[in-house]
């Protein structure tokens, strides 16, 4: 079963919101977003160019 691109982007955004709320924007890293989303960091970069784009 594959997850659509839109659903994956939404899952990453949801994880990023959680991390931003917990640690603040400046302390949040792409690695921490990847951990919260339970995805590899390369997967996050596949969908988003950088933290600002999320």
Residue 51 has a pLDDT of 95
- The pTM (predicted TM-score) of the whole model is 0.87
- The CATH superfamily label for domain 5-47 reads Homeodomain-like (1.10.10.60)
At 2, the pLDDT band (50, 70, 90 cuts) reads: low
Per-residue pLDDT of 6-22, as tens digits, reads: 999 999 999 999 999 99
Q: Would you say how long the chain is, in residues?
A: 54
Q: Pick the residue with more confidence: 24 or 1? A: 24
Per-residue pLDDT of 19-43, as tens digits, reads: 999 999 999 999 999 999 999 999 9
């Amino acid at each position: 079963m594959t997850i659509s691109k839109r659903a994956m982007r939404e899952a990453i955004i949801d994880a990023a919101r959680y991390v931003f709320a917990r640690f603040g924007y400046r302390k949040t890293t792409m690695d921490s977003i990847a951990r919260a989303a339970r995805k590899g960091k390369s997967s996050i970069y596949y969908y988003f160019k950088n933290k600002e784009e999320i």
